Amino acid sequence: MDLTRDIDSLTHFKRNTTEVIEQLKATGEAMVLTVNGKAEIVVQDAASYQQMLELVDRAEAVIGIKKGLDSMARSEGIPAEEAFQRLRRKHKIPQEA
């Protein structure tokens, strides 16, 4: 985000919606809208927002994997077959032949 370009008043946004939306699409950056000089809302084009959501999902997956690896390094886990047996018992899933 470029703070010299990506902060604007809500009033300007309302008056120039088409142009501002084109800018958002062209830059892929979010824009902070202000009310009475105070940051109040952030707007962003849908494609950039979707990309951001995917990046957040990926980051959360990496964090989860790291936690799991750290747990394994501390010998806090159980063998996979034992985990499967527990799940089968808990959910009354018959043992495979």
On the question of pLDDT at 97 being above 60, the answer is no
Contact 41, 13 (CB under 8 A): no
Would you state the pLDDT for residue 5?
Answer: 65
Q: What is the pLDDT of residues 12-59, one digit of tens each?
A: 999 999 999 999 999 899 999 999 999 999 999 999 999 999 999 999
Concatenate the DSSP letters of all residues of 69-83 into one string.
Answer: HHHHHTT----HHHH
Q: What is the pTM of this model?
A: 0.66
Round to whole Å and give the CA distance between 91 and 79: 19
Q: What is the pLDDT of residues 70-87, one digit of tens each?
A: 998 999 988 889 999 999
Would you state the pLDDT for residue 2?
Answer: 65
What is the residue-averaged pLDDT of the chain?
91
Number of H helices, E strands in the chain: 4, 3
The secondary element (H helix, E strand) that includes residue 97 is none
Contact 33, 43 (CB under 8 A): yes
Three-class secondary structure of residue 84 per DSSP: helix
On the question of pLDDT at 3 being above 80, the answer is no
Would you state the pLDDT for residue 4?
Answer: 61
Structure tokens that stand for 15 in this block: 């008056």
